[in-house]
Structure 1
Amino acid sequence: MKNLSLFNKIIFLLNTLFALVLAISLLVPYVPTNYISFLSFLSLVVPISVLVNAVFVAYWLLKRKRIFLLSGSLLVLWYLFLGSFYKFSGQEKVDVKGEKDLSIMTFNARGFNLFKQMDGNNVDTLIYNFVTEKDPDIVCFQESLYALKRNKALSQYKYKFIDFIYGVHRGKVIQSIYSKHPIIKIDSISFPGSANNAIFADILFHKDTVRIYNVHLQSFRIIPGLNTIKNEESSKLFARLKKAMLKQYEQANLIKESMEKTPYKKILVGDFNNTQYSNVYQVIKGEMNDSYFEQGKGFGRTYDLLKFPIRIDYILSDPEFEVLSHQNFNERLSDHFPVMATLRLNSEQ
């Protein structure tokens, strides 16, 4: 510090501040949200924090100052323990699907544009056409308002589970699962005091039974718009985020309890409304594989937060599944972007 100019001292103080933010963010995924709910919102800004710290590292390296180790060491820890939000290589497609290969897509369709959040009167038709073109074996929709038109458009899916219990008239959000393989059991997981929920379907896949979870965690404006942030008092903003994070944590544990009880191999997909750097992601993921980490590339964007690409929609699978491919699509048919993966079941049966 003694050998630094006034300008560099200011830079160093800013560097220390952002390094502290990143250091705390490293702890957030591993500490239960109910213990540090007031800091859990940091999981949303980890990518930005990483980039800012990387700029500081570059700056100090150009200045030939060992201060670069302050942010540099934290970036190494971040990469080793939490994983990158950008991947340079991966497998997007499978040329020839085998008998034990299963393709699955997840997409928050935002009600198929029923409330006209997007311009155009045929967004729902564009979604149907997109799914038909990609032709996954299973497709899971969040915010999937029921419509007879959808069933006719997706007629290739003989088996389906649309959670009627949680209909829009009761202030609930509907999730749905469409499958080419027989569904032998269905159920839902209710989230107390929330419009969100999770559903699951046990499907018969050759001689195996596979449980498919479709989840939609608390979205109580957890990803606020730019105008909301500008106009909302900081105390109210953090209070709202804290409340939503606590609900997410409660919901994640309900899902975890359900998964621990099933004897079947599991695939879980859906909209977590939070990043891979959150505790709720760690609670649900456990020992499951994340298709993006296995075969994804690029940012893996499923949502834009203040125009920055982030990943809040996931495809997770038990270790018995080998992830063959992962693909993110740049289709603007909702505020979310679709995700698709192909998995191979390694089974003795």
Structure 2
Amino acid sequence: MKNLSFIDKIFYLLNSLLATLLLLSYLLPFISPSTIPFFAVLSLFVPVLIIINLVFFVYWLIKLKKQAFLSAFVLIIGWFSSPPFYKISSRSSSLNSDVKVMSYNVKAFDLFTNKKNDAETENTGFTFIKDKDPDILAIQEYYQSTKILLSYPYKFIKRKNDKGKFGMAIYSKYKIVNSGSLDFKNTSNNIIYADVVKQKDTIRVYNLHLESLRIKPNEENFGQENSEKLLKRVTNSFKKQVEQTNLFLTHEQQWKGKKIICGDFNNTAYSWVYNQITKSKKDAFTEAGQGLGKTFNYWFPMRIDFILTDENAIVNQFKSFSEKFSDHFPIQAKINWK
């Protein structure tokens, strides 16, 4: 510190604080939000903390200062102990027997019929899905409408109530022999499932939409809400996510066969929720993805939508698309079994 300028001393103090926060964030997967709800909020900002610490590392490295070791040390710990922030390599094999699965929070299809600036073609969210042609399509924030252009022989749609139009859906090219809903109380979120038959295999497909944080940064009134009120609402949402996660795990453990879990977790890969749900499972992005895997349209990379499989599955491909037909980006995986 003696050899640093006054500005660099300020930078290093800030660096120390943010490196400590990143280090603490590595404990998040092991601490239930029901125990310390406020601490869980930090899970949303782990990608920002990683980026800032990378910037500090480069800054000190350019100046040939030993202070670079602080961020380097914390980042290395995260590299070996946390889910990947960035995937360098991907897997791109493919088999005819693969199950192609897409998970998509469509935001009630409100942007799905928007036209791009093209005089000759109409590029909609429905044409996008048709072009990608998934065998199984899991939709969160479904909205019943005559404008829906999805052609599948089998589907399970669960609306929140008989008179409502909002809900969740699973579309399938394979026959659905069983389906159901966990029917969360006092919330618009839910988990549904469908058992599909592919040749001699029965595969359970879960579609999760865990409690929403109701943070909409792109809306005009964002930032006007009292910060204390906002924090209280977010921490309450995290508590609900704990209850919903426990309900899911209790239900999911009863199924011993092949399974695929899709959905919008409304939480990141650095959270307790993700850690609990992914135990004894494979994350398709971790297995076969590349890049940041961003799934939510925000200024920093947030991966809150996931496709998971049982441990016996092989993920041959994973893609996170950038098409903006919703506030979420669609993700897709090709899955097979040994």
Pick from 144, 148, 154: which aligns with 2:150? Answer: 154
> Which string of whole-angstrom CA distances, capped at 9 and with x for unpartnered residues, describes residues 82-138 of structure 1?
1322222213573xx323x1111011111111xx698569xx982222111111111
Preserved CA contact (<8 Å) 1:146 1:162: no
1:29–1:225 Cα change, 3 Å: farther
Shift of 1:191: 2.0
2:256 matched residue in structure 1: 263
Pairs within 5 Å for 1:36-115: 36-91=36-91, 94=94, 97-99=95-97, 101-113=98-110
Distance 1:112 1:93 in 2: 32
Find the aligned partners of 1:66 and 1:227 in 2 and give their Cα distance.
44
Sequence identity percentage: 39
Alignment check: 8 A CA contact 1:15 1:71 kept: yes
Shift of 1:290: 0.7
CA contact (8 A) 2:155 2:170 kept: yes
Q: Which runs of 5+ in 1 are unaligned?
A: none
The equivalent residue for 1:163 is: 158
How many corresponding residue pairs?
A: 333
Distance 1:120 1:219 in 2: 28
Partner of 2:119: none
- Give the TM-score, by structure 2 length: 0.92
Match in the other structure for 2:310: 318
Give how far 1:309 is off: 2.6
* Distance of aligned partners of 1:136 and 1:15 in 2 relative to their CA distance in 1, 3 Å threshold: same
Matches for 1:208-227 after TM superposition, within 5 Å: 208-222=201-215, 224-225=217-218
Could you say which residue in structure 1 is the equivalent of 2:193? 200
Distance 1:146 1:295 in 2: 33
Q: Deviations over 1:155-214 (max 9, x none)?
A: 3x21110003x14845x8411001111111110012232110000001112112110000
Deviating runs (4+, > 4 A) in structure 1? 116-121, 222-229
Residue 342 of structure 1, aligned match among 331, 334, 338: 334
Is the contact between residue 145 and residue 168 of structure 1 (CA under 8 Å) also seen in structure 2?
no
Match of 1:292 in 2: 285
Shift of the 118–146 alpha-carbon distance from structure 1 to 2, 3 Å rule, reads: closer
In structure 2, distance between residues paired with 1:77 and 1:169: 51
Tell me which residue corresponds to 1:138: 136
* Partner SS state of residue 175, structure 1: strand
Match of 1:35 in 2: 35
Distance in 2 between residues matched to 1:284 and 1:257, nearest whole Å: 11
Note the C-alpha offset of 1:223: 5.4
Secondary structure (helix, strand or coil) at the match of 1:209 reads strand
Comparing 230-239 and 327-336, the one that deviates more = 230-239
Paired with 1:209 and 1:118, the residues of 2 have a C-alpha distance of: 35
The residue type equivalent to 2:279 in the other structure is G
Q: Which residue of 1 aligns with 2:127?
A: 129
Q: 1:246 matched to which residue of 2?
A: 239
Q: Secondary structure at the match of 1:163?
A: strand
Query: Who is 1:234 aligned against?
Result: 227
Mapped to 1, the partners of 2:84 and 2:296 lie a distance apart of 17
As a proportion of its length, which structure holds more helix? 1
Please give the per-residue CA displacement for 1:279-307, whole angstroms capped at 9, x wherever unaligned: 111111112111111111111111122x2
Indicate if the aligned counterparts of 1:201 and 1:211 stay in contact, CA closer than 8 A.
yes
Q: Deviations over 1:233-256 (max 9, x none)?
A: 221221121111111121111111
Whether the 8 Å CA contact 1:222–1:244 is kept in 2: the answer is no
Cα distance between partner residues in 2 of 1:311 and 1:338: 11
Is the partner of 1:230 in helix, strand or coil? coil
- TM-score with structure 1 setting the length: 0.89
Deviates more, 1:215-224 or 1:270-279: 215-224
Q: Is the 8 A contact 1:92 1:327 kept in 2?
A: no
- Gapped regions of structure 2 (runs ≥ 5): 117-121
Partner AA of 2:72 in structure 1: G
**CA contact 1:223–1:273 (8 Å) conserved in 2:** no
Q: 2: distance between equivalents of 1:249 and 1:73?
A: 32
